[in-house]
Amino acid sequence: WINGQVPLLRSAKSVATLDQMSIDLANLNAAWRWSTEHGRFELLDQAMEGLFTFYLRRHRYYEGIALCEFTVQHLESNLAPTACVLCAMLWVWQGRFSQIVGELAAAEHQNRMAAALLESDSAHSDALRRLAVHTAPHVYAHIIMQRGHQLVSKEGAGATDFFEDALKRYRELGDRWNEAHALAALAQQAVSAGNLSMSDRLNQQALRIRKEMGELSYIATTHIDMARLALSNARYDKAENLLAAAQKYYLEVGDWAGASRCRGYLGIVRAYRNHTEAELVTVFENIEALGGLHRHAEQVELFAELARIYTHFGNIEQIEMMTQRKLALASQLEHDLVKNSV
């Protein structure tokens, strides 16, 4: 059943599918653990993409990490070809969750483990090669994509090469969903390199794919990326229109944090356009709303934007205050991540 949900999770029906999976989650987890303990590898293979996509989309990263750890502990001593590939896939998922919650060293280790497992002597068998024809190419593409994200989080140098490699692999595999993710990552790299026209082209490509798939949350995310680009070009009307569209999509899927993020950016756009700090009141209101929803990374992002706009206005006192609040929140976020991981 859960394997059949994957196309729905990547479509306009994703919210209804996620809601149904929330209702069935206890049974899904029980079935997963039973399959793990009884060596039913084929069931794990069928369920993995759907179950861990649920944890990803519902921001339940630590639950995803815990389930990966539980399963790997049961599989890593089993040298059967199926178990080797499954372990590699689990390492990739765990690395993805670890990356998101800021556990960068853990994510890098898990990424290396996945690659090493697929290349190990114990994995070299005709059975594994037959099994990996369809599975391993995706695993390698995901490993490369995660490596790019790790480089962005650490120092940024070289990340573009990994994202381009991942994009090429996803296109060869016909994986449109992940192709859009790779395009979006490359668009952000283009912004960092100062190539704004390239960033716009890449975002447009990602948006076309996401519209074809009808995935509203990621359509909204692309709109925010494009709005930030428009803001950097002082194209305030375009930025406002893109953010309004993104907010509409987020509200449609019930992502209140995404909608708050949009409203925060709308306040910043209007402050630039109207040359007044009064518009920034709404930014602070939505930063507070994001805190109530435990979306602290988005709070840090908006504090950074506030520091930039106060620089634009020449408000030295507020620049220092926003920078301090951003650093304090980032430090608290790091502390919470360590505490939760323990």
Q: pLDDT value at position 339?
A: 45
Measured CA to CA, the distance from residue 246 to residue 220 in angstroms comes to 4
The pLDDT tens digits for 48-93 are 989 999 998 888 888 999 999 999 999 887 767 778 888 888 999 9
Smallest CA-to-CA distance from 72 within 87, 55, 61, 59 is with 87
The pLDDT of 212-217, averaged and rounded, is: 87
Selection from 17, 20, 101 nearest residue 65 by Cα: 101
Angle between helices 236-253 and 216-232 (to 10 degrees): 160
Residue 1 — pLDDT band, cuts 50, 70, 90? low
The 3-state secondary structure of 187-223 reads HHHHHHCCCHHHHHHHHHHHHHHHHHHCCHHHHHHHH
The pLDDT value recorded for residue 195 is 92
Mean pLDDT calculated for residue range 123-136: 55
Cα 309 from Cα 318, distance rounded (Å): 10
The closest of 2, 9, 59 to 177, measured between CA atoms, is: 9
Tell me the whole-structure pTM to 2 decimals: 0.76
CA distance 182 to 175: 11
CA pair distance 281, 290, nearest whole angstrom = 15
> How confident is residue 274, by pLDDT bands cut at 50, 70 and 90?
very high
Check whether 154 has a pLDDT greater than 70: no
Kindly state the percentage of the chain with pLDDT values over 70.
88
- The residue count of the chain comes to 342
DSSP 249-298: HHHHHT-HHHHHHHHHHHHHHHHHHHT-GGGGHHHHHHHHHHHHTT-HHH
So where are the chain's domains? 1-138, 155-222, 243-342
Whether the CA torsion 324, 329, 334, 335 is positive or negative: it is positive
How many Å apart are CA 337 and CA 339, to the nearest integer?
5
Q: How does the average pLDDT of the chain come out, rounded?
A: 85
